[in-house]
Structures are given as structure tokens and as C-alpha cells.
Amino acid sequence: MKVTELYYIEDDRNIALAVKEYLEPKNFKVTICGTLAEARQRLSEHVPACVLLDWNMPDGRGDRLCRWIRGRWKELPVIFLTVRGDSADIVSGFQNGADDYMVKPFELEVLYSRILAVLRRAGNAAERYLSCDDIRIDRNRRAVFCHSEEMSLSAAEYELLLYLMQNKGKTVTRERILAQIWDVNGNYVNDNTLTVTVKRLRDKLSQPACLKTVRSVGYRMEDTL
């Protein structure tokens, strides 16, 4: 059965571990983030299927992180888990993009049902969004963003970037890229076509450090921030 990835942003280790121990036997992979900064870093590297977010964190308020998430991944489900039960806080949470809100202490069975509910409504955000440093792809819209600005790419440039992002952290050979991006459609092209497409892609994305050339082999995308 497929494992669903979830980030729990919580500074109380005991609560976080209790949630993790309950959910992981139910086919969830739970990553605990003890600060908002750690959460931003992990989200920048990989988008999970859902985020559980505490309100009061050592380095700021959870609603600010929620607003940051919404500016990048509109359909990524976010559930607030907090001791703050004031109506004003609840309103603030929803205004900043939360999908649901639970007040501590909460029943783990209820949390589980809430997670399933928001996942059903949102679909799989982890498959929809890909990111590397400041570059993001929204696969549903076939949209590419660099430093929050939407970029205009050709079909070949988009397919190349998507393929490299799907293989982030791996070196992909030039031969494999040519076969996957061009030859799969029956369009034979020479090796220089790839070189030119990579150059144009780099120019449009402001020479990103995360798009690396592996000399005499191919290319690799990996986070550098």
C-alpha cells in the first residue's frame, strides 16, 4: 500500500512522537519539524501530502508559515493543531489558508479522520508540486515559477525541467534525456539540441545553481539553498 508523506511542525517532542507513532502504522510517513525554519527548508526540498502545524513555535507563529505555504502551494492541506482555542485565532488560521483546526488535547482517531478528509478534498499535492531551490513546477497547470515569478518556457524546455525535477538528486545521462524527451515521440534529434535547450532553460531561470552539468555524462538537479 502506498505511503502518504506528512510533515508535523511541532516543538513539543512528546506530542509529535505520539502522533507519529499512531499514524505510521496507518501507512503515513511522518517527518517532525521542531521549528518553522526547519519546516520551510524541508518544504522547499520536498512537498508532502499534508502539513500538521502548531500555532506557537519557538521561532514564530504557525499562521505566518501557513501564509507562506499558501503563496507557493495553494492546494497543500494544512491542519492547525494547537492549545489556542480562541475564536479570533481560529478565524486568523482560516484567513491565512488553513484547511482545518483542532484544539489540543485531541483524539488521535479524530485527527486521523480529519487528515483523510482534507486529503480527499485536495488530491495528491506531493505529486502536483515539484521544487528545487527557488524553482517550482505546478504540474496540473504546467506552470513554472522562479523566485515566485511565472516563467514562459517552450514545450521542450518544460519537459526537460520536469524530467530533471522528477529525478532530483540523480545524475541523468544525456542519452537518457534525449530518449525520454524527444525520441519517445519519434522525433530524432542530435546531441546539440539538448545542449541548446539546456542553455535556453538556464538563461530563462537566471542561471540556477541547482541545475548542474556533470561533465561528459549529463545533468543533475539538487537543492543548494
Read off the CATH number of the domain in which 204 is found: 1.10.10.10
Residues 6+ positions from 221 with CB-CB distance below 8 Å: 132, 164, 165, 167, 168, 169, 210, 211, 212
Phi-psi region of 148 (alpha: psi -120 to 50; beta: other; left: phi over 0): left
* Same domain? 41 vs 139: no
**Number of domains into which the chain is organized:** 2
- From CA 215, how far away is CA 225, in angstroms rounded? 22
What mean pLDDT comes out for the span 164-190? Answer: 83
Longest dimension (CA), the chain: 64
- From CA 199, how far away is CA 195, in angstroms rounded? 6
| Boundary (domain end) residue, out of 127, 160, 175 | 127
| Boundary (domain end) residue, out of 127, 145, 176 | 127
* Same domain? 8 vs 77: yes
CA 201 to chain centre: 21
CA distances from 155 to 65, 67, 122, 159 (A): 33, 31, 27, 6
Residue 16 has φ and ψ, to the nearest 5°, of -60, -45
Nearest to 50 by CA among 90, 88, 19: 19
- From CA 76, how far away is CA 9, in angstroms rounded? 14
88-102 b/e (C-beta count within 10 Å ≥ 16 → b): ebbebbeebbbbbbb
* Same domain? 86 vs 115: yes
pLDDT at 186 over 60: no
pTM: 0.68
* Same domain? 94 vs 190: no
Higher pLDDT, 126 or 99: 99
Q: How confident is the model over 120-160, as pLDDT tens digits?
A: 887 776 678 888 888 989 888 899 999 878 999 999 999 99
* Same domain? 122 vs 137: no
38's grid cell:
526547519
Q: How confident is the model over 28-85, as pLDDT tens digits?
A: 999 999 999 999 989 987 889 999 999 889 999 898 999 999 888 888 999 998 876 6
* Same domain? 36 vs 106: yes
Query: Residue 100 sits in a domain of what CATH number?
Result: 3.40.50.2300
Range of the domain at 148: 133-221
| Boundary (domain end) residue, out of 127, 153, 185 | 127
pLDDT at 89 over 70: no
* Same domain? 151 vs 207: yes
* Same domain? 138 vs 118: no
- In the three-class reduction of DSSP (H, G, I as helix; E, B as strand; rest coil), residue 107 is classed as coil
